[in-house]
């Protein structure tokens, strides 16, 4: 109960709002001796795919024998999921020990939840003597609390409309904010394919003197086989090699994530201890990518088109914006679920484009179970139902809670899809624990 009270106090710091700027996080980390400077860092920004990319990078580095810190957000069920070392979540006792003094220090400067959590992760990784930390930005990049690191590699995933009240109303302005993580003389790998956005990142790299690679110029990845268990095998073509990778993160969008990891690997490989013979054969073909088949087990990364039950299928996904919803639907269709329609449990934040998300979902919906997670930004269930009706969803049921919606959907014995928000995923999983 004492820990829960502490976490309640920590989460309450969310309600001071998002406060861009690095001064507060710099003060917090300086009070700890700047732990973020004591280990190599891979820093990842973008709109979609950041968490999956971080998990893939962590998996291959763990598979190579390194001790890897992984900092991602948001969590699905427990706060502790945000801070992991080789897949093991930070312990409750360490959350309590690290959070209290940081919260007290942050209160004096009106610091935020994310700033405290970021400083906590940096300190924890230093204490655990990680060989490398993989750090996901929270929002944006330039003024994100994570952006006080001095990384060995920065990576930019795809760009889409999100958090426009903070990042700007155009894709170019959003890309500019994400590009703020790019540092002088630090290699940058960029997965965004659109020319007008590539130009934003190239300009930033040239301005600060950062070497850069565009994924599409370095590697080509196609899905070879989608598997019914929602894994996939992809074919990878690089400048001098061709090979196949199986991964338990599935989807055409995840093929791009695999391509990004492949592009990053020559830089990541520098972290590995080598014998003289291995150094002589640098650049040769190795099975470094085999851990990508077991990302969930290695890193604890969940909720990305995850099959909770096979018969009838129950699928959970944290897709929470139009691009990720399109990717979810495309993946389910490609994996052989085109013969199914789903009882869809759907809740969404009020600031998301729920209409476009519903349009993407339409081909899969048998019945829509509208709900709202217990969160201040959630769209009311009636609002979700109204949008569904505008999209001619055939059957719509409104529920008092996410758990009620899941219970009703599962009771139909039809395929079930749960999506729309991290908060929906969190409350849905509480049903399956009981």
For residue 375, pLDDT over 60 is answered with yes
Query: What is the radius of gyration, based on Cα positions, of the chain?
Result: 21
Q: Which of 46-50, 66-70, 196-200, 341-345 has the lowest mean pLDDT?
A: 46-50
- Buried residues in 211-248 as b, exposed as e (16+ CB within 10 A): ebbbbeebbebebeebeeebbbebebebeeeeeebbbb
Q: Using CB atoms within 10 A of its CB, is residue 184 exposed (0-12), middle (13-18) or buried (19+)?
A: exposed
- Cα–Cα distances (Å) from 342 to 181, 280, 337, 418, in that order, read 40, 54, 9, 9
CA distance 189 to 37: 21
Residue-level pLDDT at 340: 72
For residue 20, pLDDT over 80 is answered with no
* Cis peptide upstream of residue 352 (ω within 30 degrees of 0): no
Residue-level pLDDT at 281: 44
CA distance 316 to 345: 10
For residue 56, pLDDT over 60 is answered with yes
Q: Which of 12-26, 92-106, 419-433 has the lowest mean pLDDT?
A: 12-26
CA distance 56 to 176: 25
For residue 390, name the pLDDT band (cuts at 50, 70, 90).
very high
> Where do we find the tokens 């990878």?
236
- CA 244, 246, 247, 250 torsion-angle sign: positive
For residue 98, pLDDT over 60 is answered with yes
Average pLDDT over residues 72-101: 95
- Cα–Cα distances (Å) from 292 to 245, 278, 284, in that order, read 8, 22, 19
Residue-level pLDDT at 51: 93
Beta pairing class for 219-226 and 232-238? antiparallel
For residue 426, pLDDT over 80 is answered with yes
Average pLDDT over residues 188-197: 95
pLDDT in tens, 397-407: 999 999 999 99
Average pLDDT over residues 79-108: 95
For each of the domains in the chain, give its residue range(s) and CATH number, in order of start.
2-295 (3.40.1190.10), 306-433 (3.90.190.20)
For residue 130, name the pLDDT band (cuts at 50, 70, 90).
very high
For residue 37, pLDDT over 90 is answered with yes
For residue 48, name the pLDDT band (cuts at 50, 70, 90).
confident
For residue 204, pLDDT over 50 is answered with yes
Query: Which run of H or E residues covers position 272?
Result: none
pLDDT in tens, 255-299: 999 999 999 999 999 998 865 445 444 444 568 999 999 999 999
Q: What is the mean pLDDT of the chain?
A: 91
Bridge-partner residues for 155, per DSSP? Answer: 44, 189
Q: Using CB atoms within 10 A of its CB, is residue 129 exposed (0-12), middle (13-18) or buried (19+)?
A: exposed
Residue-level pLDDT at 282: 44
CA distance 367 to 216: 39
Residue-level pLDDT at 169: 66
- Cα–Cα distances (Å) from 217 to 92, 189, 192, 210, 259, in that order, read 44, 11, 11, 17, 11
Residue-level pLDDT at 11: 86
CA distance 371 to 424: 9
pLDDT in tens, 133-180: 999 999 888 999 999 999 999 999 988 776 555 565 689 999 999 999
Residue-level pLDDT at 168: 58
> CA angle at residue 194 from 190 to 199, to 5 degrees?
70
Residue-level pLDDT at 276: 43
For residue 123, name the pLDDT band (cuts at 50, 70, 90).
very high
Q: Which two tokens stand for residue 328?
A: 């979810």
Closest by Cα among 77, 82, 145, 87 to 318:
77
For 36, phi then psi, to 5°, come to: -65, -15
- Cα–Cα distances (Å) from 408 to 259, 305, 399, in that order, read 39, 21, 9
Average pLDDT over residues 117-141: 96
Residue-level pLDDT at 90: 98
Q: How far is CA 119 from the centre of its chain?
A: 19
């Amino acid at each position: 109960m004492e820990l829960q009270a502490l976490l309640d106090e920590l989460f309450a710091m969310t309600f001071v709002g998002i406060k861009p700027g690095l001064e507060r996080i710099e003060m917090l980390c300086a009070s700890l001796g700047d732990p973020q400077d004591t280990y190599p860092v891979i820093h990842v920004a973008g709109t979609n795919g950041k968490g999956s990319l971080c998990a893939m990078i962590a998996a291959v580095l763990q598979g190579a024998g390194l001790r890897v810190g992984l900092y991602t957000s948001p969590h699905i069920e427990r706060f502790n999921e945000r801070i992991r070392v080789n897949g093991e979540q930070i312990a409750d006792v360490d959350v309590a020990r690290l959070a209290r003094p940081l919260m007290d220090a942050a209160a004096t400067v009106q610091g935020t939840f994310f700033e405290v959590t970021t400083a906590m992760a940096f300190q924890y990784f230093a204490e655990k003597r990680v060989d490398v930390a993989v750090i996901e930005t929270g929002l944006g990049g330039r003024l994100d609390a994570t952006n006080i690191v001095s990384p060995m590699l920065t990576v930019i995933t795809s760009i889409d409309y999100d958090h426009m009240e903070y990042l700007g109303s155009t894709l170019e302005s959003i890309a500019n904010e994400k590009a703020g993580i790019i540092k002088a003389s630090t290699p940058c790998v960029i997965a965004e394919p659109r020319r007008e956005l590539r130009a934003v990142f190239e300009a930033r790299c040239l301005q600060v003197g950062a070497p850069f690679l565009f994924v599409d110029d370095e590697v080509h990845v196609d899905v070879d086989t989608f598997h019914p268990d929602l894994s996939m095998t992809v074919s990878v073509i690089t400048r001098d090699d061709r090979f196949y990778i199986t991964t338990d993160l599935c989807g055409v969008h995840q093929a791009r994530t695999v391509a990004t990891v492949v592009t990053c690997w020559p830089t990541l490989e520098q972290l590995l201890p080598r014998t003289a013979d291995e150094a002589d054969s640098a650049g040769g073909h190795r099975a470094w990518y085999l851990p990508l088949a077991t990302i969930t087990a290695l890193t604890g990364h969940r909720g990305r088109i995850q099959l909770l039950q096979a018969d009838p299928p129950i699928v959970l996904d944290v897709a929470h914006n139009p691009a990720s919803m399109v990717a979810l639907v495309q993946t389910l269709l490609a994996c052989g679920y085109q013969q199914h329609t789903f009882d869809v449990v759907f809740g969404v934040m009020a600031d998301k484009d729920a209409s476009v998300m519903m349009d993407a979902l339409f081909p899969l919906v048998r019945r829509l179970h509208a709900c709202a997670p217990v969160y201040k930004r959630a769209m009311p269930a009636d609002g979700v139902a109204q949008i569904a009706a505008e999209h001619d969803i055939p059957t719509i049921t409104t529920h008092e809670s996410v758990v009620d919606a899941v219970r009703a959907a599962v009771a139909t014995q039809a395929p079930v899809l749960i999506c729309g928000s991290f908060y929906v995923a969190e409350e849905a999983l509480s049903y399956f624990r009981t």
